[in-house]
Every structure is written in C-alpha cells, then in structure tokens.
Amino acid sequence: MESKHPTYSHLSGDPVKLAEEKLAIVSSIITTSDDAIISKNLEGIITSWNPAAEKIFGYLEDDVIGQHISLIIPPDRIEEETFIIGQIKNGIRVRHFETVRLSRTGTLVPVSLSVSPVINTEGKVIGASKILHDISDRKKADEKRAILAAIVDTSDDAIISKKLTGIITSWNKAAEKMFGYSEAEVIGKHISLIIPTERLNEEQYIIAEVIKGNKVDHFQTIRQTKDGSLVPISLSVSPIIDANGNIIGASKIARDISEQLITQQEKARLYEEVKKLNDKKDEFIGFASHELKTPITSIHGYLQMLTRLAKDEQSHIFLKKASQQVKRANSLISELLDVSKIESGKLQIHTTTFDIQQLVEDVIEMISYNNQKFKISLKSEISELLITGDSSRIEQVIINLLTNAMRYSGGNEEIIVHLSQTHDEVAVGVQDCGIGIPADQLNDIFLKYFRVDNQNHNVSGLGIGLFLCQEIINLHQGRIWVESELSKGSTFWFALPI
Ligand code: ADP
C-alpha cells in the first residue's frame, strides 16, 4: 500500500545530513507552493512568509516579518484570529476554514485556511503555521453557477435537460408548473412521459438533429401534462456539449403558447367582425348614394325648368346658386358611389387613345370659365401627346386636383398646371400657393376619409377625392404623389405610362 506521508529512502544515512536534506525539501516545497504559507508565534507575530503569500497579499517577506497577523485580517473578522489561536494553544488544527483576508491594496481575497500548531522539541506549542489557499476562482465559478441556477429557477419557460437516450436529467420549477410533475418524479424517467403518443416520432426527429449538432428553434407542438391535458408549446432544443466537444445530451426550453394562440384566434375573430361591419358600411354607402341620385336629378331638372320660366334677375341669381349646390351634391354622391365601386372591385376603366395635352387644356378652360376669380395657367413642355387610358377618369382626377387647389388656396388665386414628359411617362402637376400640408401628414393624404387636422379652414369635404384619384391612377399603372410646404402651397403630381 502507498504511504500517505513522504518517504525519504533516497536520502543519506547520516542523521545530521538527513535533517539538513529534509529541511531543504520542506523549504523548496514552501518556496514553490501556490498557497500562501505563513507562520506566526502565539502572540500573532509573523515569523515566516513565503513567495506565494507575497503574491497573494502584495507584501514582501521583509515588510511583514515581526508584524502582527492582523495586518491581513479585515477589522470585522479579528475575532476569528482569537478563535484560531485558542484552538492552536490547545493543540487543535483548524482545517479548510473559509474566510476572507485583506491584501496590501485593500482588496478582499477569499481564502481557505488550514492552521497547525508548531510544537518545539519539548512538545510545547510555540506558534502556528497556516496555509491559505486562494479560492477567488472557485468563488467566481460558484457565483456564476448560482446565477445560472437562479435564472433557470425563475424562468417562466420550462427548462429541461436530458441525455441522448431521452432520460431526463434536470427539470426546473416552470417545468413543474407547466407539466404538473415534480422534479423528483421525472429525474431518470424518459421524456416520452410528456409526449402524446401520436407525437412520439417528433422526439426521434429532435434527437437526430441534436446528434448532428443542430439547434431546433421555435418548434410548435403539443405536450401532455400529468393530468392528461394538452399544452401547446413552442420548443427550442440545443445540444449539450462537454469539455471535450462531445454531444452528451440536449437542453430544451418549452414556452407555453396557449395564451398566444387564444390572442391570435381572438384577433382573427375581431378582424372578421370589423371586416363584416366595414363591408356593411360600404354596402350602405353604395345603396344610399344610389337612392340620393334620383331626387337630386329631379331637383336639377325642375331648377332648369324654373330658370327658363324666371323673368327677373334676382331669381336667376338664386337659381344659379341653387344649381351650383345641386351640382356639388351630385358630384359628392358620384364620388361616394365610386368609393363603393372600388370596395366591391367594380370600378372599371374604359380605355381609349386620347391627347393628354388637349384634355388638360379643355379642363383648365372649363374650370377657369366657372371660377373666374382664379388665374389658372398651363406650363407645358410638350405638344400633342397620345396616350391610352380612360379619358373621363383622368379628367375626373385633374378636375379633383384643380378643385382642391382652389378650395385650399387660402386666398392665393394663382394656380399653375405643369405638363412634362420623360422617355416612358407623362407627368401632370397642379401647383397652388395655398395653405400647404404639414409634413407629418403627407403620407396619409391619399387615405380614404383622411382630412388634415385643423387645416381645412371651414372647407367641407369627405376626404375621398384624393383616395379616388389614387385608385384611378393605380388602375392606369401610374403614380401619384404630392410635394408641399405648410403656408407656401402644394403641387400634386400624377404620372402615366406612355
Ligand atoms: P376633401 O378635400 O374632400 O377633404 P380630399 O381627399 O380631396 O378630400 O383631400 C384630403 C385632404 O387633403 C383635405 O381634407 C385637405 O386637408 C388636404 N388637401 C387636399 N388638397 C390640398 C391642397 N391642394 N392644399 C392643401 N391641402 C390639401
């Protein structure tokens, strides 16, 4: 049997020499030790101090010999020394006493302390030798482990680890809560415990991926709890790799997604409900505008008859005003009807080939004639240009943009219509010097029912004109956009493919 104590059989037979040789060995051990080895007398005065002690505590041997050991004891731990000395005086060793000591720089060094009595030839205790093992690294590793354990412990997700054979090796609190089994009940059992029979093949797939070193992420599936109920979960599984790089198992994180699924279902239901209500509203708008058309047309007819019969100028002025209002009502109703056609996918364009320059000129002439206080000019870079499209719908767009330019003019009566051409597009721009549009609302301007907040200066409207313009331009595979500066004016552009 091997002896626990060192044997000195290779040393010389001369007793004096033997003692010297033994001393040399002990002194070399003390010098090369990684642990601090210190000796002191019973008053606590340091009598030896090895190189490791110099390294750990930052004091040189010469600085500490003759000093009291309290030099390296934090003030709140001084009574530990009284206890240790008490033990030593009674000839009792102190083993692996974990504490902290103070270095020269004031940092605390966690150490494991072993203290033995030093006994003279008469058998009297004359001092103590201590070995201090620096346990900072172990303490750090312990702390790290404790933090990881706390994370696993407090996680809302079930965290489970298992061997490649499927045997469960760890099971956190959330797993206990999610699946109803305590840790003790499942450790050493096979993971199939929580897998519904019809899904057992999933485990084979997951393990096959893990063996290849792959992760399985957000795998949505169902697992079974202790009471037999099913939980929908999202599973992420990663290989566990040991220090040698071998895959030795798998760790899984399972998230209960029951609530997420309920929220998704609820959202889908609400979406359907809103869509149904929206369809109903569009249906109603279509129906109501259709019904309004008939009386408006008949009022329009009667107004024309009255105009023919009216003799005095006053009546003519009133009748003209009434007709203008009827026209406005008529065009609003037409726009509403168009919106309902768009919603039901029934807005169609009837294409012909027409001269865009001519169309722009005609619209300007007609609008100028009816709105004489506005000065509308044309800046055209092109002459005759034939394009294919629905001329009456394009006319509707230009009228709409010009009408807006007048309605939001803010009293500035100059309007410029631009006409330009690139190799594949013709662009029409309607520029006003009116109230402009705030930059943060430019993106929404073409949305259905959108009107700029607080900027309409008593101009009434439904917020559908620009929406219709955009739909019509889109049906022509064109583009529509706006450039605008608040209080300076806006230019609405549309471009059509040539
Ligand atoms: P409506 O004018 O009937 O409200 P539109 O769809 O034509 O509906 O216009 C939407 C909004 O865009 C308007 O309410 C107005 O706030 C803004 N807008 C449209 N054209 C102009 C313009 N030329 N200058 C300033 N603001 C405009």
Is residue 418 classed as helix, strand or coil in its secondary structure? strand
Q: 490 CB less than 6 Å from ligand 1?
A: yes
Distance in Å, CA 465 to ligand 1 centroid: 8
Closest ligand 1 atom, CA of 463?
Answer: 8
Class of domain 155-256: alpha beta
The pLDDT of residue 358 is above 80: yes
CATH T-level topology, domain 33-136? Beta-Lactamase (3.30.450)
Q: 37 CB less than 6 Å from ligand 1?
A: no
* Confidence grade of residue 12 (pLDDT, cut at 50, 70, 90): low
Mutate to test the pocket of ligand 1, among 432, 445, 458 (most ligand atoms within 8 A of CB): 445
Distance in Å, CA 401 to ligand 1 centroid: 9
Distance in Å, CA 386 to ligand 1 centroid: 30
Q: Which residues make up the CATH 1.10.287.130 domain(s) of the chain?
A: 262-343
* Confidence grade of residue 280 (pLDDT, cut at 50, 70, 90): confident
Among the ranges given (58-72, 77-91, 413-427, 481-495), the one the predictor scored with the smallest mean pLDDT: 77-91
Q: Are 305 and 322 spatial neighbours (Cβ–Cβ below 8 Å)?
A: no
Distance in Å, CA 463 to ligand 1 centroid: 7
- Ligand 1, atom 23, lies closest to the CA of 405
pTM (two decimals): 0.52
* Confidence grade of residue 4 (pLDDT, cut at 50, 70, 90): very low
Return d(Cα 184, Cα 179) in angstroms, integer: 13
Q: Which two tokens stand for residue 240?
A: 């566990």
- Ligand 1, atom 7, lies closest to the CA of 465
Return d(Cα 205, Cα 202) in angstroms, integer: 5
Architecture of domain 262-343: Orthogonal Bundle (1.10)
Distance in Å, CA 472 to ligand 1 centroid: 17
Class of domain 352-497: alpha beta
The residue whose two tokens read 């105009």 is 307
* Confidence grade of residue 121 (pLDDT, cut at 50, 70, 90): confident
Q: Which residues make up the CATH 3.30.565.10 domain(s) of the chain?
A: 352-497
- Ligand 1, atom 9, lies closest to the CA of 463
| Residue-level pLDDT at 456 | 65
Beta strands of 309-374 (E only): which ranges?
Answer: 352-355
State phi, psi for 110 to the nearest 5 degrees.
Answer: -70, 130
- Ligand 1, atom 13, lies closest to the CA of 451
**For a pLDDT cut of 70, what percent of the chain falls above it?**
97
Closest ligand 1 atom, CA of 451?
Answer: 14
* Confidence grade of residue 326 (pLDDT, cut at 50, 70, 90): very high
- Ligand 1, atom 16, lies closest to the CA of 452
Output 68 or 283, whichever has higher pLDDT.
68
Distance in Å, CA 391 to ligand 1 centroid: 23
Cα→Cα distances 265→220, 235, 258, 269, Å: 16, 21, 11, 6
Q: Which residues make up the CATH 3.30.450.20 domain(s) of the chain?
A: 33-136, 155-256
| DSSP structure string for 41-71 | ETT-BEEEE-HHHHHHH---HHHHTTSBGGG
